[in-house]
Amino acid sequence: VKEIRVTVAVIAAVLAIVVLSSSLYTVAETEQVIVTQFGKPVGKPITTPGLKVKMPFTQVVHAFEKRFMEWDGDPNQIPTKDKRFIWVDSYARWRITDPLLFFQRLRDERGAQSRLDDILDGETRNTIAKNELIDLVRSTNRPFVVADDVAELSQPEAAERVEHGREKLTKEVLENARRRTGDLGIEILDFRIKQINYVEAVRQEVYARMISERKRIAERYRSEGAGEAARIAGEKDRQLRVVESEAYRQAQEIRGKADAQAADIYAAAYNRDAEFYRFLKSMGTLRESIDPETTLILSTDSELLRYLSSAK
């Protein structure tokens, strides 16, 4: 009798555990769940985490991600409106807003990803094909900062105006895609272009253009250097002449002034007695001009020899 009692107790305990474990379940912080009974949804989706209760055995729990999820598109080769072939790699953020609808329409994440592929790739293609490349690359018409005097000649395409800009175009893709996902129980929160790259052939062309552009800049630097050097050399020559002639002019002026002053001084003095000056100057000149080679012919009439002939 005692053994039977023990056996019954054990069986009851096991049963209790089984029932309990089938009727209790946890919802993680990152999950949201729907409960179905024989395939039919029961009650509202459960979005709050914690320990929950359901009918044992007959009800099944389907858990879905509650967090934002990633969608990473495959790089696509797409021509822009201006017929440039580019690789476009984009990503999007999305989440399940209505788990029940999501479960009904898409079943699981794989289904969702492939629907997103269709929708987003298509919308990306549409938008890109309608726009020029510059609109995809730039966001604004922000003027380029000119680092040096060369930038202004280096960019022929900088003049192209951006009509919409990258931000607006990705928003456009997002809006259009959103319209098509409304009835799928999901919401796309953001769509962005991760990478835009030229296809190989175009890239080579762009490189060739960049190279020729650089060469042009290099040539300009060289010619600027030569030009500037010539200018400085010219400046040097001019400066040299200015300095020299200015000095000459000043020197002559100074000399002239001094000569004039000297002449005035002489005149003022000698005018007292011009005749006496002539006499004095003649004496001086005689003294200086006569040397041993000179032959002196004197008349006895002269002042000096007057007394040579007679003493009177």
Among positions 101-140, residues that touch other proteins (CB under 8 A) are 133-134, 137-140
Contact 26, 51 (CB under 8 A): yes
Q: Does 222 bind other proteins (CB under 8 A)?
A: yes
DSSP code, position 139: S
Contact 92, 113 (CB under 8 A): no
Nearest of 89, 110, 114, 109 to residue 99 by alpha carbon:
109
Separation between Cα atoms, residue 312 and residue 308, nearest integer Å: 10
Q: Does 307 bind other proteins (CB under 8 A)?
A: no
Q: Does 311 bind other proteins (CB under 8 A)?
A: no
Q: How many CB atoms lie within 10 A of CB 188?
A: 21
Separation between Cα atoms, residue 71 and residue 114, nearest integer Å: 10
**Rounded least distance, CB 43 to other proteins, Å:** 19
Residue 26 phi, psi (nearest 5) = -110, 145
**Residues 6+ away with beta carbon under 8 Å from 150:** 217, 220, 221
Q: Which residues, 5 to 24, sit near other proteins by CB under 8 A?
A: none
Instruction: Determine which residue in the list 12, 53, 129, 210 makes contact with other proteins, applying CB under 8 A.
Output: 210
How many of the chain's residues bind other proteins (CB under 8 A)?
Answer: 123
Separation between Cα atoms, residue 80 and residue 127, nearest integer Å: 9
**Rounded least distance, CB 169 to other proteins, Å:** 12
Handedness of CA 100, 101, 106, 112 (dihedral sign): negative
Q: Which residues, 247 to 266, sit near other proteins by CB under 8 A?
A: 247-248, 250-252, 254-255, 257-259, 261-263, 265-266
Instruction: Determine which residue in the list 5, 40, 110, 142 makes contact with other proteins, applying CB under 8 A.
Output: 142
Q: Which residues, 46 to 85, sit near other proteins by CB under 8 A?
A: 48-51, 65-70, 72
Q: Which residues, 26 to 45, sit near other proteins by CB under 8 A?
A: 26-31
User: Candidates 7-15, 38-46, 174-182, 275-283 — which segment interacts with other proteins by CB under 8 A?
Assistant: 275-283
Q: Does 3 bind other proteins (CB under 8 A)?
A: no
**Rounded least distance, CB 50 to other proteins, Å:** 4
- Maximum CA pair distance of the chain? 204
Instruction: Determine which residue in the list 5, 39, 110, 299 makes contact with other proteins, applying CB under 8 A.
Output: 299
Q: Which residues, 183 to 202, sit near other proteins by CB under 8 A?
A: 189-190, 192-198
User: Candidates 9-17, 35-43, 53-61, 239-247 — which segment interacts with other proteins by CB under 8 A?
Assistant: 239-247
Contact 172, 127 (CB under 8 A): yes
Query: Looking at beta carbons only, is 54 or 138 nearer to other proteins?
Result: 138
